Amino acid sequence: MTDRKDELAGNLAKVEERIAAACAAAGRAREEVTLVVVTKTHPANDVRILSELGVRHVAENRDQDAAPKAAECSDLPLTWHFVGQLQTNKVRSVVGYADFVQSVDRAKLVTALSKEAVRAGREVGCLLQVALDAGASGRGERGGVAPGGVEELADLVARAPGLRLDGLMTVAPLSGTYAGRELAAFERLMDLSTDLRRAHPAANMVSAGMSADLEQAVAAGATHVRVGTAVLGVRPRLG
């Protein structure tokens, strides 16, 4: 337990240094970037330790794991982000603990989120997940709406009771024109964010960058980086 706390403290310090250096290199203030620690596959006790170490934002990608973890940690001053592909039959559960859903990518999901948010008397912050590798289907391999579908989906979220349109999220594509070009991918997301903010000025969150590419995300202008492995170590199983 103490060992784990030391390990997480050391990892957090390294990630903090990387974010600070990336901000400095980009001429940005450190406060412009929020660290969201992705705790998926790691136990609730790690979340508790992270909270003791000052982490305030955590993210999960599977409701089956996240729901009990969030319940166990409900006494902690944490903001919960949902970042995984979300089936509509899980929406009621997710709305019970998630402050933000970063993976909003289709109209049907917006309808379900709105209905459950209203039912729960909550306001859920929504980020549209953009698939920069979206093919002809208009959807990304790992979920996400194609860039051309952002405007329509954004308008839908903005009009939906119980939901707040907060911005955009992406995962750097592993294939397609942006494969291996994380900075270019994140710059494209920033351009889409600029377009979005013309119609929705308050939707200014830009969530991009993970353990391997947080520097490129900060350089491009991301407001939120989602870091798992670099803080918690290699995941016990695929998540």
The residues of the shown chain that bind ligand PLP, judged by CB under 6 A, are 38, 40, 61, 83, 171, 210-212, 226-230, 239
Question: Which residue from 231, 210, 226, 228 is spatially nearest to 13, judged by alpha carbons?
Answer: 231
Output the smallest distance, CB 174 to ligand PLP, in A.
12
- Distance in Å, CB of 82 to ligand PLP, minimum: 10
Burial of 159 (0-12, 13-18, 19+ CB in 10 A): exposed
Closer residue to ligand PLP in complex, CB, 61/193: 61
Q: Which is nearer to ligand PLP, 7 or 115 (CB)?
A: 7
Burial class for 44, CB neighbours closer than 10 Å (0-12, 13-18, 19+): middle
Find the shortest distance in angstroms from Cβ 61 to ligand PLP: 4
Nearer to ligand PLP, 11 or 162 (CB): 11
Instruction: Kindly tell me the burial class for residue 202, based on how many C-beta atoms sit within 10 Å of its own C-beta (0-12, 13-18, 19 or more).
Output: exposed
Query: Shortest gap between Cβ of 90 and ligand PLP (angstroms)?
Result: 15
DSSP code at position 27 = T
Nearer to ligand PLP, 162 or 170 (CB): 170
Q: How far is the CB of 6 from ligand PLP (least distance, A)?
A: 20
Which of 73, 111, 76, 72 minimizes the C-alpha distance to 92?
111
Q: Whose CB is nearest to ligand PLP?
A: 228
Q: Which CB sits closer to ligand PLP, 192 or 230? A: 230
* Rounded-to-integer distance, Cα 113 and Cα 157, Å: 9
